[in-house]
Structures are given as C-alpha cells and as structure tokens.
Amino acid sequence: MKKKIAVIFGDGIGPEVTRQSVNILNTVARVYLHEFEFVYCLMGAEAIDKTGNPLPDETITACRNSDAVLLGAIGHPKYDHDPRAGVRPEQGLLQLRRSLQLYANIRPVTTYPALQRLSPLKAMQTEGVDFVIFRELTGGIYFGKKERDEEQTRASDECVYTRSEIERIGHLAFQQAQQRRKKLTLVDKANVLETSRLWRKVVQEMADGYPDVEVDYMFVDNAAMQLIVNPKQFDVILTENMFGDILSDEASVIAGSLGLLPSASVGDGVALFEPIHGSYPQAAGKDIANPIGSVLSAAMMLDHLGLGTEAEVIREAVAWTLKHNFVTRDIDPVNFYLTTTVGELICEYIGNKVPGQTDEQDTGLRGSTII
Ligand code: IPM
Ligand code: MG
C-alpha cells in the first residue's frame, strides 16, 4: 500500500520522539511491503521562528494532500509567560484542527501491569482499566467569540454548540461503543450550562438509534472524581472540548506515565495523530523522552489507514519493550534506555517479526545508567 504522511515535528521533544515513529513506520513498510512517503512541514514555535506564522499555508496544503498527519508536540516556554506575545505556537495547532475539521479527539487509556508501580492509584483500581475518551475538538469555548475591554477590566469567552456538531462526534462515539463494551457516558454540566443541556438532549435522541449501547450521563465534577475512584466503570466517554481537555490529562496519569498515551484527531477528511504529552522543553535534545506515546499514535494511524495487522505488531513490540523494562527514564530513573535505543529495539522486534527473537543479551548492553 502506498501512503503519503505529513510529518510535523513541532517543538521541544516533538522531533526526537517523532523520528522514532518515522523509523518504525519505515521498518513496517519494509517488512510488510508498503511505501510510506513522508512530507515534512512546519508548525508551532519553530514555524514562528522561521516564518513568523505558527501555521504556514504550505503546512495546511501539505496536510490536506496527505493520507494522514503525524504530529510531535507544540509549545515553547518563551511564549507561555508573555501575555503580550502576538502569536503563540498553540494557535497553529488550534487553527490546524479547525482547518482540517478534526472534530473528534480520541484518547484511549489502557494500563500495563508492568507499569502499575508508576500509577498514583492502587493496583485494585487500575487493573483492567480500558476506556476511550471522545473529546469534541473544534467547537465550544475554545473557538467562541473572545473579548477583552481596553481597560483590562472585563473579558469573556463564548461557548457555543450546534446540534450538528454534537451529532457528528456522537455517531463516532456510539459506533465505537458498539465495537467495545457497549457503554457510553456523556460527561457534561447540564445542571448549570445551556450548551450541556443541548448535548444531553441530542445524545438522548441519538441513543434510540443505538439500542445495544447503554448510555449514562455524568456531571463533569463527579466524572473527575469517578475517574480516580473507579476508572474501570468507563468504556466510552463522550464530552465537549474543554471538559475533554481537562479529563484526558487527568485520565492519563492512571496509566503511570503521560509519555505512553497516543491520540487521534479525526474528521471527515485527513486525520491527525499525536502523543498526548506536551513539548516537554526541559528534556528537549537530551534523548531521554519517552517515544511510546508517539509510536502508539503511529499505530493508531495505521489502524485508521486500514493496516490493522501492522498496527497490532507495533503495539505488540511496545508491550514487549515494557515487559522487558527497555524503558526511558520517566519509567525507570536508574536503569533506563535512551529514546533512540527504545526506537531501535522496536524496529528490531518488528524486523524480526517473530515475538521474542530480538536478542535480550545484546539489548541489555545498551542500557544506560547515566543520570
Ligand atoms: C491538548 C492541548 C491543547 C488543547 C493546547 C496545546 C492548545 O492541551 O491537545 O490537549 O488545549 O487542546
Ligand atoms: Mg490538553
């Protein structure tokens, strides 16, 4: 199969983790006889530095002309504490989501037994956790009218949702629930917000079309608590943009490391895949960042492109590295492996194809204890 993939390295650790994914995709292409063409584009702080624009037009065009987009991370501290900054790297990401109409952000949360010790929750709560968050990504307070008066005494952000915006992501979430444990939880604040009451009404109406899916409704404050107290109860969580942003970061710690989790942002056209972690500037260029979030995002991308077997082999390779403790410093601060080494080991595993064939003695020699 021939596919064109737009790659946006982005800022901070974005380039180094994404490079591992590209190497792994090249290995998959070699082993499974596919052809992946990578088209590199600018976005975020790097794009501002080079062009003055966080999302150059060529990037939008290149993404539109591709089969999928693989993104590293966006953000740089030099913009974070400067309220006068005219342009910010994150604007590039928000504009890209809007331009490509990536209205559903999908974030699966699963736990690995080998990493239980890293979770702030007890094993009893995390064992067997397996849910997916469907976060609306192109509407709500993120994209509503924004105002601030000249005297700097009043500001507002409008939150608007339309029926069609709710329905299009709603269908994706219901369909996903049908393929999973058939439970959908709508998270809202319908006791206070008018937009939430519309979400509830529309989802209630849609539920008739999916009689095999059990639907429940939860206020967002309660959901924030339930995610910690009893995360196992969730299968598919459907929610609006801002609630989804907050809950998905909260949910990410259940697995033990933010560095492990992938995400997909989909619409009706080209889809985008990125790890859920940020640009982690303190670690940039040190070869210590965890590449797994990006690598699993690449696996989600292959699934989306119809290459399920190839996606599965990547996930199997990742599980193998975790099981054998071939992990980066965030997971084991003493006996850790470098970003590039973890990437190479995954390539070797996929290259050999047969599980367990990669020589463990050889891999052991590549461990690092430099702190
Ligand atoms: C995310 C991020 C973004 C968001 C930021 C970088 C604008 O937190 O993808 O969750 O808030 O959507
Ligand atoms: Mg976020």
What integer pLDDT is reported at residue 56 of this predicted model? 97
Pocket of ligand 1 contains residue 67 by CB under 6 Å: no
What integer pLDDT is reported at residue 344 of this predicted model? 97
What integer pLDDT is reported at residue 116 of this predicted model? 86
What integer pLDDT is reported at residue 354 of this predicted model? 46
The tokens for 263 are 């995400």
The tokens for 167 are 């329905």
**Measured distance CA(98)–CA(239) in Å, rounded:** 18
- What is the number of the ligand closest to the CA of 135? 1
**Measured distance CA(129)–CA(113) in Å, rounded:** 10
Residue 55, CA distances (Å) to 1, 19, 87, 93, 326 in order: 30, 21, 10, 8, 36
Nearest CA residue ID for atom 8, ligand 1: 245
Q: Answer whether 58's CB lies under 8 Å from 95's CB.
A: no
Pocket of ligand 1 contains residue 250 by CB under 6 Å: no
Q: Where are the alpha helices (DSSP H) in 219-307?
A: 220-229, 241-252, 292-304
* Probe target for ligand 1 pocket from 69, 76, 90, 261, with the most ligand atoms within 8 Å of CB: 90
Q: Which residues of the chain have pLDDT under 70?
A: 83, 353-371
Q: List, in order of start, the domains of the chain with CATH numbers.
A: 1-108+263-371 (3.40.718.10), 120-255 (3.40.718.10)
Let me know if 371 is exposed, middle or buried by CB neighbors in 10 A (0-12, 13-18, 19+). Answer: exposed
Nearest CA residue ID for atom 10, ligand 1: 245
Cβ atoms within 10 Å, residue 87: 15
- pLDDT tens column, 137-154: 999 999 999 999 999 999
136 dihedral zone (left: phi>0; alpha: psi -120 to 50; beta): beta
Q: In this structure, what is the dihedral angle of CA atoms 38, 351, 11, 142, given to the nearest 10 degrees?
A: 80
Pocket of ligand 1 contains residue 93 by CB under 6 Å: yes
- pLDDT tens column, 283-319: 999 999 999 999 999 999 999 999 999 999 999 999 9
Pairing of strands 271-275, 262-266: antiparallel
3-state secondary structure of 371: coil
The tokens for 367 are 């461990």
What integer pLDDT is reported at residue 357 of this predicted model? 53
Residues in the chain: 371
Nearest to 289 by CA among 90, 29, 97, 10: 10
pTM beyond 0.85: the answer is yes
State residue 141 phi and psi, 5-degree precision.
-65, -25
Pocket of ligand 1 contains residue 245 by CB under 6 Å: yes
**Measured distance CA(358)–CA(169) in Å, rounded:** 41
